[in-house]
Amino acid sequence: MRIEKISRWWWMALGLVVGLALGLVYRGSSDRDLSAAFDVIGDQGRFESMLLDHDGDTPRFRQLVVHPGGATSGKHEDEVNRSIVTGRYFDGAKDSVGRALCFEAPVPYTQGPALERVAKLAKQDLAGRYKAIQSPSIADYLSLLGEFAAIDYQYAWWEIPWVSMLLWSGGGVMLIGLLWPTAINLIVYKRLTRPREAGIDLRDIRGESAQPQSQPSAQDDQRLREIETEMQAGLERAVAMSPEDAGKNTVATPPAVRELSEAAIEAAAPADEPDQHFAAKPDDFYPTDHSPKRRAFTLLELLIAIGIIALLIGILLPVVAVARKRGQATKCASNLRQIGMELEIYSQTNRQLPDTKDAATLAAALAEIDQTGGQIFQCPSDDASKFSYSLNPQFAGLPKTAGKATDMLANESGARHIGGANALFFDGHVEAGGK
């Protein structure tokens, strides 16, 4: 079947399937871990105090976006019941870039000190209004604060799972089911729609009622008897024909049947080979020429093949990118574990941890112990520096016994992985997002 003959409904069904598939791939491969690009605000009181910070009439915490059903780390199993607020905090009028921050808000969201401060200034019972909301979210909280404070936010409704799948499927139907067949019609037929094919239109055919059959008349019966009498007389004459008259019969006698023999059968003369391509199709009602011809790819078929290849590449590239990021995060965690073992050796030898201030001095302090040539001090995702890990300055120069098992011993500078920055703890384990 030629491409331009495919019905638009088939293209729409294909677009729906492709849109749903791309939506599932996007949801499975998209990096929803916002701590890889934002610094996490771990305290609700600090978050709400930053909401109310102003430079005159301008709030410092701006460009707020509420992401539904996200998580800043992989430690939470109830990701559907959590929302993420992202934004930029501008520290003063001279700060034109701001710090990218995010806060993980549970659902339902409990009221904090910001609501009390705004209620006192507005002299309104905001606490009672907030309690009346059933299962309030951070979006409801920000909306209530925004009525009396300069707080403006945007709700990322397009990230809701069912809305996202609806957008992907609708986009697939629009592009593949509507725009693509229209483009084919413009190229082939120079019009927006495909012309009706020539043939019999059964819709214009109307049936006719059957005519009642009439009974034979007496004349018809008389004529039938005469014909029967003539036929009977002819048969009687043929039986009574003499042998001399039989020799004059012009009817050809059948050929004699050859007897079987053991002699070799003579090869028959080659008959003319019939044209195998004569009226080969069932709808050929007249002689047609169907000589075999090699058919090359048309421009439309070539464009379809290129489009399918591009679609497959678009599906596979995000999956490969996410797999590469996870592999780099695993290698980074392995580097931190080796640094932890070297810090243990250093602590047992010197009775204290290295007195370092940054990543470079930590690598210099452990240079005599390290057997990898300094490779473990660079994160595979860090292309800007050869030294990616630093010691917690709170414990620099102190004995290792000064920290608890749950205290952070060292971490990487910056969040580059899915799940956030890797962190090494005093008990030797490495955790993602342990800031």
pLDDT, one tens digit per residue, over 16-30 is 888 888 888 777 665
Bigger pLDDT: 258 or 177? 177
The reported pLDDT for the residue numbered 30 is 56
Copy the structure tokens of residue 298: 């048309």
Query: Domain map of the chain by residue range?
Result: 3-29+163-188, 34-159, 307-432
- Which tens digit of pLDDT belongs to each residue from 141-173? 998 888 888 888 888 888 888 888 899 889 888
State pTM to two decimals.
0.48
Note whether 388 and 423 are within 8 A (CB). no
Residue type, 217: S
Residue 92 three-state SS: coil
Q: How many CB atoms lie within 10 A of CB 179?
A: 13
The reported pLDDT for the residue numbered 249 is 53
Report DSSP state, residue 382. -
Name every residue whose Cβ is closer than 8 Å to that of residue 412 and which is 6 or more positions away in sequence: 332, 336, 379, 382, 388, 389, 390, 421, 422, 423
Bigger pLDDT: 189 or 296? 189
Name every residue whose Cβ is closer than 8 Å to that of residue 81 and which is 6 or more positions away in sequence: 69, 106, 107
Question: How confident is the prediction for the chain on average, in pLDDT?
Answer: 78
Q: Per-residue pLDDT for 133 more than 70?
A: yes
Rounded Cα distance, 419 and 76, in Å: 11
Q: Per-residue pLDDT for 73 more than 50?
A: no
Note whether 386 and 377 are within 8 A (CB). yes
In this prediction, residue 37 has a pLDDT band, given cuts at 50, 70 and 90, of: low
